[in-house]
Amino acid sequence: MVDSINAFMIFGPLEIILKGEIISIESGKLRTLLAALLLDAGSVVGSDRLIDWLWDDHQPANPRGALHTYIRRLRQLLGDPKMLSTVSSGYRLNLGTAVLDLQQFRRLIRGAEETADPQAQAKLLTDALAIWRGPALADVPSESLRREKGAALEEERMSALESRFELEVRLNRAAQIVREIRLAAIDNPYREKFWELLMLALYRAGRQAEALDVYQQVRTLLVDELGIEPGSGLRDLHGRILESDPQLCLPDRSAPDAATPSTVPAQLPADAIGFVGRQELMDQLTEALRPSGTRPGVPVVVLCGPPGIGKTALAVSLGHRLRPAFPDGQLYVNLRSHERLGQDPPLTPEHVLPQFLRSLGVPPGQIPVELAEQANLFRSKVAGRHVLVMLDNASSIDQVMPLLPGDAGCSVIITSRRHLGGLVATLGAQVVQVGTLSPEESRELVEGMLRNVAVPVDPALIPEVVALCAYLPLALRIAAANLISFPGGHADEYVDSLRTGNRLAALTVDDDPVSAVSNAFALSYDSVGPDDRRLFSLAGLFPGPDFSANAVAVLADMSTAQTRNSLNRLTVANLLQQQAPGRYQFHDLLREYAYKRAGDHFTAQEIAAAVDRLGLWYLVGTRNAVDILHVEFLRLPLPPETRSVIDAPEFVDESQAMAWLLAEWRNVLACMRALDGSCSSHLTWHLSDALRGFFWTGRYRTEWSEAAHGGLIAAGRSKDKLGMAAMHRSLANLYNTLGDYRQAINHLAESVALHTDLGMSEEVAAILNNLSLAHLSLSQVDQAERIGQEALAIAREVGSPRTEAAALGLLGQIHWAQGDMTVATTYITSSLRAAGELGLHHITSYSLRNLGLVREALGDLDAAKSCFSQALEVSTRIDSFYDRSISLYGLALVHHDVGDNQAALEFAEQALGAFQECGDRTFEAETLCIMSGINAERGDWTASIQCARQAFERANAIDYTDGKAYSLVRIALADDHFGRAAAAALHAADAFALVAGTNRITQRRILVDLGLMYAEQQEFERATECAQRLRTISEETGQLLGAAEAKRIMALVTRRSNLLPSAEPLRNEAS
């Protein structure tokens, strides 16, 4: 920039270069004047604004005269009269060919926004940020100018910095960028996006513990300094890091535009260090699996063989070799078919497909519940893409068939202890029997491991070690690890113990392929102390995928401190793996070994008691969490044996409770499965009921279905009416979120009947509230009100304030749907008052949203916006996706009403994503209708009709009459715009046919849009009919917006009909 003839710089101290020379401006007023003109270079800056910025609140007696003096001095300084022009209302600075750092910065930012290449984006953003020499207007002595303009410029810089950091992290430069992000976060401690990016960068750099520590630091800062919890973005990321979400580790290899992110899963486990041998086989399989344009079907390779033979290591190494050939992703799952000696059921396709679909970017709310639909969606998502699918540890053809893609661009690797020969007949799969390593390869493996840690071992011992391990790769690795533990002169002691181990009868693979592994395991097992051996065996009983020290302490009936120390020793002995700080897991064969040792050393009663202790501990911990998160929910009474539980997890706030649930919910489900059919099977439905509030937030619909159906079956088997009633209630909540209201009503009816038989009136009232809402969602408003009134009466009779508050809020929504805004307001304000007194956050958010809808219908749009904003704040604070989504919908609605379509579209897009996350197809249809209207007003009719068609598809799928009717209207309007008169008339007629079955609010919207369309088409009789019906509804219900729209339609009829003499009667009627 300095090389330019003329240049101006406002980023940092004000600096100008004229004809190649740096010019110093001593006068503060002159710096202020020039800076103000530079900020709007090329545009007129009003004299009054310049005066305000020059003198703030201390203007001279003749401010315009003083301003003129400074203008004259500035012209002299610039040396070119043409650069500074006087116009009637102010002054304009004309830069011509001069360079202004602000313009250069914005030009580079625009370039970054317009390019699709992330490397180029990052370079442009880096160059743009390099222009800044310090804070904008750093030495400009005008507080008002810095406040009005400087803050906005700083925001531009912060946004650019965030974008650059995001790109660097996406481009797999997390480790290199951590320091810069940390400095930015420290300098801007209340800007949560920097903390999010720092956590993500640390996590991707392999520093998970530091990432979690950063969250605690920023949470403490926000709570102590501002009295608020971190925002949803930080909380969600914290939860995903706790869960070790594999998607967080993935750099965006496809590098799409940031506005349209694409999910590219890269789930292969880390390649084994020191993998040796099998090169010829690797070459053959690489050729067979690499995509080619000529192959007719999906290549499937099955690697089969005994445990410990190295099937998984071979598959993973092969997968890493093939990664460049599958740029659209690599999916991996351990199907766990041979764990715990078959006592645990293998993972089913119903468990795996939701994971795969989430990894491919499908929002949880869009994942079907039925297996066939999940499999169809999976095949659709990978069609036309190059994706490698690795199914590790499979047991049967039925287990893998739904997980196979249908596109020839994909390939599949399966590992199994069985041949799965049926795949050869059905798919032409290639089955490869994996054998042991050769003696030479076995020596290379052991010597390589020893060489990596520089441990000297007598080379003469190696051949005997590899022979005693039967050349099985897993046994070889364990033996090498033990040799490392006994270096130098002690290595021969280890070999002697391996040679004479009393559990080893023969080491030939043909006779007993597991014996070498078991012997090696036994040596590691015997090397630890008796307390560690006991804990190792009991940990083998743990039903979930990973565990914490607290959970295993309960299983083993030990103190947490003892357990943690023992787990650390077991990890050092390679008997456990610590995949994340504080989270432990087994290798699958070691898990089998531990499970078998538990069976050898403990009685069946002792094992059952240990699992019961764990189930009770998880039940109390889950209840403690959800009692904080979901106060409104009625839950099953805790069984009496929970009184014996000590040291159950306790939480001080919603954030802690949610973090624990995110880390442990899969283990809670695993406990349910382990307890099913046991003497403590009643814990199955208790655990399912405890998780209901967590599932209700909108995630994990497939798992919710499994938990609720499993609990219902278990309760039915035990003929436990209360358990059955609770599970029917849970399934009803699930189907309500899915938009399947008729299924919900069926389960609610069962639950009401059972609770009535049990004399549990408060539960009956709560379920009637849900039943009323389901009927309201089906536009059965009268029936909804009758049931809602019944719920209110019962709640008052039994003295249940929380159920009464919910019933009042629901009745308010019903009267809003009926168009009775006065009664709706009374009910809703009563609900809000009760919810506030009781601390019922979900009901508070719900009633605030409903009050916003009432205010919107009455035309009080400022009040409506305030209600929706408050509801959003409450829902964000309690981390409820469902509540938050409807609040965003309300803000989209009210911003659309006031004509702020840009803000409306932004809120609507956020709401749509949230509803897809929650799985609420009712509000998804409503939001798409709003987006259709917004896009139409913006002139984008293509987007408008796309949104309308999607809305109809969602509404039709759940038979939602209001959504079907209004989406048909939006389609008709688009058809009319595109000149498709016949189609427009047909869709409008279909919408009219549905009007009678919609609520009064939807009727208003339909009549407004159709009335305006008919008026434009000069269908004046139809337009007038719409206006008259609209006026009647509005007068009956007090909908001021509807009354105004009726006048608008008639005004348009009057204006259009003036062009036609034959329209005299309509003109008179309009007048």
- pLDDT of 808 > 90? The answer is yes
972 or 20, greater pLDDT: 972
Residue 281 vs residue 502, higher pLDDT: 281
Q: Which of 952, 933, 940 is nearest to 990 (CA)?
A: 952
Task: Please state the domain extents for the chain.
Answer: 1-168, 172-242, 279-369+381-433, 439-451+461-526, 530-602, 604-743, 760-838, 840-907, 908-1070
Q: How far apart are CA 927 and CA 943, in angstroms?
A: 14
CATH 1.10.10.10 fits 1-168, yes or no: yes
Phi-psi region of 227 (alpha: psi -120 to 50; beta: other; left: phi over 0): left
Looking up tokens 């401190």 gives 561
Please provide the CATH number assigned to the domain covering 908-1070: 1.25.40.10
351-369: average pLDDT: 83
More confident residue, 187 or 409: 409
Looking at the structure, give the CATH architecture of the domain made up of residues 279-369+381-433: 3-Layer(aba) Sandwich (3.40)
Q: Which of the listed CATH numbers 1.25.40.10, 1.10.10.10, 1.20.1290.10, 3.10.580.10 matches domain 172-242?
A: 1.25.40.10
- Measured CA to CA, the distance from residue 254 to residue 270 in angstroms comes to 21
User: Among 477-491, 887-901, 1015-1029, 1041-1055, whose mean pLDDT is lowest?
Assistant: 477-491
Please give the single-letter amino acid code of residue 163.
S
Say what the pLDDT of residue 1071 is.
Answer: 44
Over residues 678-693, the mean pLDDT reads 93
- The tokens for 180 are 């810069």
Rounded to whole angstroms, the Cα distance separating 879 from 887 reads 13
Do the first three CATH levels of 172-242 and 908-1070 match, i.e. the same topology? Answer: yes
The pLDDT score that the predictor gives to residue 698 is: 61
Of all residues in the chain, the percent with pLDDT exceeding 70 is: 90
Give residue-wise pLDDT tens across range 596-641. 889 888 999 999 999 999 999 999 999 999 998 888 889 999 999 9
**Rounded Cα gap, residues 204 and 862, in angstroms:** 44
Q: How far is CA 1005 from each of CA 935, 1015, 1041, rounded to the nearest angstrom?
A: 16, 16, 10
Torsion sign, CA atoms 1056, 1058, 1059, 1060: positive
Q: How far apart are CA 563 and CA 256, in angstroms?
A: 46
pLDDT category, 401, cuts 50, 70, 90? Answer: very high
Residue 260 is predicted with a pLDDT of 35
| Whether the predicted pLDDT of 455 surpasses 80 | no
**DSSP run (H or E) holding 1023:** helix 1020-1037
CATH number of the 760-838 domain: 1.25.40.10
- Give me the CATH topology for the region 840-907: 1.25.40
Query: Residue 774's pLDDT is what?
Result: 92
Phi, psi of 88 (to 5 degrees): -60, -35
Q: What is the pLDDT of residues 106-125, one digit of tens each?
A: 999 999 888 888 888 888 99
Q: What is the pLDDT of residues 1028-1042, one digit of tens each?
A: 888 888 777 666 667
pTM of the model: 0.66
Note whether 524 and 647 are within 8 A (CB).
Answer: no
Whether pLDDT at 516 is above 50? no
Q: How far apart are the first and last CA of the chain?
A: 67
Mean pLDDT of 5-24: 85
Mean pLDDT of 803-825: 92
| Distance from chain centroid for Cα 265 | 15
Asked if the model's pLDDT at residue 345 lies above 70, the reply is no
pLDDT at 263: 58
Query: Residue 71: helix, strand or coil by DSSP?
Result: helix
How far apart, in whole angstroms, are the C-alpha atoms of residue 658 and residue 651? 9
Residue 270 has pLDDT above 90, yes or no: no
Residue showing tokens 């599958």: 326
For the chain, counts of helices (H) and of strands (E): 48, 14
Encode burial over 438-474: b for 16+ CB neighbours within 10 A, e otherwise: eeebbbbbbbebbeeeebebeeeebeebbebbbbbbb
pLDDT surpasses 60 at 506: no
pLDDT (0 to 100) of residue 500: 66
CATH topology classification for 530-602: Arc Repressor Mutant, subunit A (1.10.10)
Question: Which of the residue ranges 58-62, 593-597, 648-652, 775-779 would you say has the lowest mean pLDDT?
Answer: 58-62
pLDDT in tens, 35-83: 999 998 888 899 888 988 988 777 887 888 888 888 888 888 888 878 8
pLDDT bracket for residue 945 (50, 70, 90):
very high
Sequence-separated contacts (24+) of 94-98 with Cβ below 8 Å:
94/41, 94/42, 95/6, 95/8, 95/41, 95/42, 96/6, 97/5, 97/6, 98/4, 98/5, 98/6, 98/7, 98/8
Mean pLDDT over the full length of the chain: 85
Residue 257 has pLDDT above 60, yes or no: no
**Exposure on the CB side of residue 488, measured as CA atoms within 13 A:** 1
Tell me the pLDDT tens digit for each residue of 348-359: 899 899 889 988
Residue 231 DSSP label? P
> What pLDDT shows up at residue 250?
54
